[in-house]
Structure 1
């Protein structure tokens, strides 16, 4: 049977297995140090567990980590939680965290590893949107239509061109392909800090705050 036919058929069929991941990022820039609390959850018929990571935004290092397990298949599963304390003090970097899984696999947990991967993979995007909300002109922002009079389509295109100022974003996918750029909009976003520039300024500002008496 063709895929298109099966897609219609599953509308009337019970699902054999479903697993959901949810990631939430809570920002506390007013705290000392400024921090982010990450909550990542996994839920299926056998698991209901959440990973919590507290990140110091002034140096991007992990302050603390915790795991809550409300449903796991074995009574031995919670014994693996303490293994992950080695991450405290490590940099919140996807590449570094992926290389830091416990060398002794029997001491860790496959699903905590998955939650870590999810948390680290989405952190850069979450942080970028956090900085955009704080620094991007609201009258140009597609998510703040209450500010200014510019229409939604124009805001989306301005936002797209602004994201593409960053080398890591430009040509990273079809929607951020340079084929969508126009000289007029490139010029319009030229005075605005790129997301990388925002991150650098944020880090330098946090460092100055730490060094001030």
Structure 2
């Protein structure tokens, strides 16, 4: 089993990497600003749960296939970008009336937490850079004398996801506070911001290379 010393070193290194905002943070913030803190936290859980696929991929060797095969990497990259573009089109065409304050006071229900969770799940799964990141980062902390390598990878992967969930949840809480500070912000502006953000994330996904990690 992973020793406490190794786990502490892994956690410290992970927190440094997690602290740098990335595409998941952008998605969490835009979702929280548009729909509120509870929906933003549900989206956070969706993204982090999607990362479990990469832990499983690392254990089973799928990540190694993606890293070695340009075709496999391209398929996953295009699928992820296509999903983000679909979200961008939906946000652009939403044209939600009113302001944040008016939306909060209206009877119109925001997306359910389950819906937000399921919508965010593919963002975590369809991220080739995350797959390669896990392949490059986790094995560095596997010790031959600490038991089965697959079990160590699972422990390290779940630990990383747990830390990422805590940190990313703070962005949802921050977004909830920011939402209260901007009650007069028009929803159509947020629709446009969310759409442009998703489109830019799609471009980032398409431009990613197999040598890019993190």
How high is the TM-score relative to the length of structure 1?
0.27
Q: Which has the higher contact order (CA 8 A, sep 6+)?
A: 2
Is the strand fraction higher in 1 or 2? 1
How high is the TM-score relative to the length of structure 2?
0.27
Is the helix fraction higher in 1 or 2? 2
The structure having more radius of gyration, on CA atoms, is 1
